[in-house]
Structure 1
Amino acid sequence: MKKTETQHTPINGNDLIALGYPENEILGIALKINRKRNGYTKTEMLKKYAEVLAHPENFLHDKVFKTLAEGFRDGLHLPKHNEIPLNEHPNAYPIYGKEQIEEGALKQMNLAMQLPVTVAGALMPDAHQGYGLPIGGVLATKNAIIPYGVGVDIGCRMALSVYQLPASYYEQHHDTLKEIIVKNTQFGAGQGFHGQYKADHAILEDPKFETNALIKNLKDKAWSQLGTSGGGNHFVEFGLIDFQQDDQELNIPKGTYLALLTHSGSRGLGATIAGHYTKVAKQVCSLPYKAQNLAYLDLNSEEGIEYWLAMNLAGEYASACHEIIHQKITKALGAEVLAQVENHHNFAWKEMYQNEEVIVHRKGATPAAKGVLGIIPGSMTAPGFLVRGKGEEKSIQSASHGAGRQMSRTQAIKSLNQSDINSYLNDFGITLIGAGKDEAPMAYKDIYEVMNAQHDLVDVIATFTPKMVRMADDGSRED
């Protein structure tokens, strides 16, 4: 059956580029106008776009195309005199699990490799499209830091506590564990504790809170949200962790134990820092339009130093949040902790790469230097893995940070049926507290395929099977 073109038939940037529109600010204005078509079909709209491109002076008073015509009049379509050119012959980079990675993520990584400050890059098998650097993107730069290369949820991390409790403890104390997890966690964008319920931690005395007025004014919000979790894919869950053999480093004998796994980041503190310094970077780093979200700060500049301090504060704050959650739940359990492991992503590190100091951005990627421990989760129904890095230089000593999405949030909400999700969770014996359809297990890639694609990067030392999962249930997206 032939589709009828309507005013809702989409127009994208490629349609306009094909007409001759340059990839700069004028393209953004044109696409914004497309949201208000006023009854035009796609064909009619494209014809108008071509006319405006040829004779913008004729549309200076047009109710739909006025702003676009003014943009041409003001020269917004022309290259900026101070625009930083991209490298037209970038270095190649390794892609792990390429067959599972969407085109949008590949395009974003290709663009990041063209930055004049880029030294090397790698794309992890859980990669998918994000803002600036793709999620799953690893980028090494020379003395420059990219706020959107770090991400919005600065220092987001995984934290694991392995308890000296047998696997049978879970079934025997299911209701008690549910009560403990509900009582000692709080989720959602903007959510926090008040008054006597506020947590305390040495992070609140960190002198980096005095960096500038912006950071200082975020201290109260940071205090109220201390020990809470964000929205989106953040979780607190009980599960069973299986060691197939003794682990000498962790001093854990072979066996299966009850464990607590958490995933969350720096909450409103990190999000505000990311938003502010991304704007600053775009003001001082004039990249071509298509690369604006990769705007960077020189680490020798005042702005770069400020962001570096703020990023590290947000990372330490995220760690403090996990520490408080684990302390509360461990105290409620009254159990002995055999081992704790923590790793973070959405961060930038100063590291050596081929005998040169570089800034390594890991946007949704796990550090995997030789011997370094990390946790790579699957989904609500798929196992996660406790891993030890192999220190592979090609991947810039990195691995995936999870399974990665195969459905966008919107796609998952529109296409998945809640009763089917419930049946699926029931088949796996999962107790779910909170979460929306956008976090359904089927929205994620196959974790086994992801792990197979990175066997050169990490060794698996234990397998974590989720059993009881708590997530935000208010539509929050702080992830």
Structure 2
Amino acid sequence: MQNKGKINGNQLIEIGYPEGKVIGIALEVIQKEYSLMEPDEVLDIMKNVLASPSDFLNDLKTSFIAEELLKPNKKDEIIELLPSPRLYKIYGKEGIEAGAIKQMDTAMRLPVSIAGALMPDAHQGYGLPIGGVLATRNTVIPYGVGVDIGCRMCMSIFDIPAGYVETGKGDLMKMLVNNTMFGRATFKKPKDHEIISNPLFSEIEILRGLKERAYAQLGSSGGGNHFVEFGIVEVVDSNNEWNIAPGKYLSLLSHSGSRGMGATIANYYTKLAMETCKLPQEAKHLAWLDLDTEAGQEYWLAMNLAGDYASACHHQIHERMAIGLRTNPVAMIENHHNFAWKEKDEKGNDVIVHRKGATPAGKGVLGIIPGSMTAPGYVVRGKGDEASVNSASHGAGRAMSRTQAKNTLKPETVKQQLQKAGVELIGSGLDEAPMAYKDIRTVMEAQKDLVEVVGVFLPKIVRMCGDEKFQEVD
């Protein structure tokens, strides 16, 4: 036989009460006001309050329960978007697909959005479009950063004549084959790096299971459009930051990100953001985390660790090549283009700037904007344009989807273009063919107010993920 007045939280949940603060309020009221009643009678009263809480707002005994039940459930409440997007600038609009512009419009309707811009290489993605820049106040959007956190460019310039690309071609190809790994391939004995000793690997739960994989993938590159390539860089600015005389030099350029670690972090915190930040269907991938919350701080720390890890992988690639060349670079330039930064707006206020496929281009900031495997890339210096949120494109941008490129391009056509450009290709597939990309010169013209060119890079020996046809060269 039940004791009078003895009701527990599970019984309230069984009759329909939501988990949370209201359970505690109801149990406190029951103990104070209904301790002498039979449990079934108490449960009947609680059912009536739950069924129509507004009828009990003036009841001295149940008003606190009714008030709590009538409060909106913030966890399930849909956050409304602004009726129209905040104004933002689109660079090279004529070359950008409608889907990317629509995604950027949606991002600019978020109540946390402050400023934004769309770069000339933009195309549709998940959440924020590739080439999208979005500034928010004290919030971070995991899919505003992207899945490949810290995807970045890194260039080493060597004091070696440009002609070595031809005279030493065989040796350079061997160096790329023997010292780079792509996709699922990893080194049997990865070089150690201090990044693996970072205490965050033990302090943040999601990172604990990623340390071993991160170590295994050290110094390797992802698949898709990631590459390591030797080429010729022509320094055109006599007032460059490295005091290098204008001219042509042997150079190494790499493009990759944070590997499986970054993808796991992105997906975990995106799911968490979507559970706590309910947005309309068209904006659901733009769910944010408040930086004042534990989850927001965790993501911020994990994101920065992933960015540092991506940098470490690039540095190991360049170290291996420098050893092979028996010299150190005279200059190194590098930048993230999938990341979020704490910056200042024009009024001096702190903002979080998401650049998903966009290069930082604050005044005097150096960066690299690659073309395709047969088109030039550019070493640039930012002009600090506020309308672009101090940003520029991160490359030429795709003119064809991967599927479209695979279905329409022919291998012999790609080979002809590579031969015409004098480019040796190791690996890769049709989805990365030069014709799958926009004209980088048109893209650079569209952002001439955002950056100035310091140097021009021409790829000559390109290594990507794919067929290892040169693996047996020794």
1:146 aligns with 2:141: yes
Cα distance change on mapping 1:215 and 1:446 into 2, 3 Å: same
| One-letter identity of the residue aligned with 2:315 | E
Of the candidates 150, 154, 168, which is equivalent to residue 173 of structure 1? 168
SS in 2 for 1:472: strand
Of the candidates 313, 323, 331, which is equivalent to residue 315 of structure 2? 323
The 8 Å contact of residues 233 and 456 in structure 2, kept in 1 or not, is answered as yes
- Residues 98-118 of structure 1, C-alpha deviations (whole Å, 9 max, x = no match): 000001100000000010100
SS in 2 for 1:240: strand
Cα distance change on mapping 1:248 and 1:346 into 2, 3 Å: closer
SS in 2 for 1:282: helix
The 8 Å contact of residues 211 and 306 in structure 1, kept in 2 or not, is answered as no
SS in 2 for 1:362: strand
Matching residue of 1:77: none
SS in 2 for 1:305: helix
1:108 aligns with 2:108: no
The 8 Å contact of residues 379 and 441 in structure 1, kept in 2 or not, is answered as yes
Shift of 1:338: 1.1
The 8 Å contact of residues 161 and 340 in structure 1, kept in 2 or not, is answered as yes
Shift of 1:289: 1.1
**Identity of paired residues, percent?**
60
SS in 2 for 1:271: helix
Shift of 1:191: 2.9
Matching residue of 2:391: 398
1:414 aligns with 2:380: no
- Residues 221-247 of structure 1, C-alpha deviations (whole Å, 9 max, x = no match): 000000000000000000000123424
Q: Report the count of equivalent residues.
A: 394
Matching residue of 2:91: 96
| One-letter identity of the residue aligned with 1:226 | L
Matching residue of 1:465: 458
SS in 2 for 1:290: helix
Structure 2 Cα separation of the partners of residues 213 and 145 of structure 1: 19
- Residues 368-392 of structure 1, C-alpha deviations (whole Å, 9 max, x = no match): 0100100000000000000000011
| One-letter identity of the residue aligned with 1:283 | E
Q: How does 1:8-23 map to 2 (within 5 A)?
A: none
Of the candidates 260, 285, 288, which is equivalent to residue 280 of structure 2? 288
Matching residue of 1:298: 290
1:370 aligns with 2:363: yes
1:276 aligns with 2:268: yes
The 8 Å contact of residues 235 and 455 in structure 2, kept in 1 or not, is answered as yes
SS in 1 for 2:387: coil
**Runs of at least 5 residues in structure 1 that lack an aligned partner in the other structure:** 1-79
Matching residue of 1:192: 186
* Structure (1 or 2) with the larger CA radius of gyration: 2
Matching residue of 1:86: 81
| One-letter identity of the residue aligned with 1:165 | I
Matching residue of 1:73: none
The 8 Å contact of residues 148 and 262 in structure 2, kept in 1 or not, is answered as yes
1:229 aligns with 2:224: no
SS in 1 for 2:330: strand
Cα distance change on mapping 1:248 and 1:110 into 2, 3 Å: closer
TM-score (norm 1): 0.81
Of the candidates 240, 254, 261, which is equivalent to residue 253 of structure 2? 261
**Runs of at least 5 residues in structure 2 that lack an aligned partner in the other structure:** 1-74, 469-474
Shift of 1:419: 0.7
| One-letter identity of the residue aligned with 1:164 | D
Q: Which runs of 4+ in 1 moved over 3 A?
A: none
Shift of 1:474: 6.5
Shift of 1:208: 1.8
Structure 1 Cα separation of the partners of residues 467 and 138 of structure 2: 40
SS in 1 for 2:220: coil
Structure 2 Cα separation of the partners of residues 305 and 376 of structure 1: 31
Q: How does 1:50-129 map to 2 (within 5 A)?
A: 82-129=77-124
Matching residue of 2:195: 203
Matching residue of 1:157: 152
The 8 Å contact of residues 240 and 454 in structure 2, kept in 1 or not, is answered as no
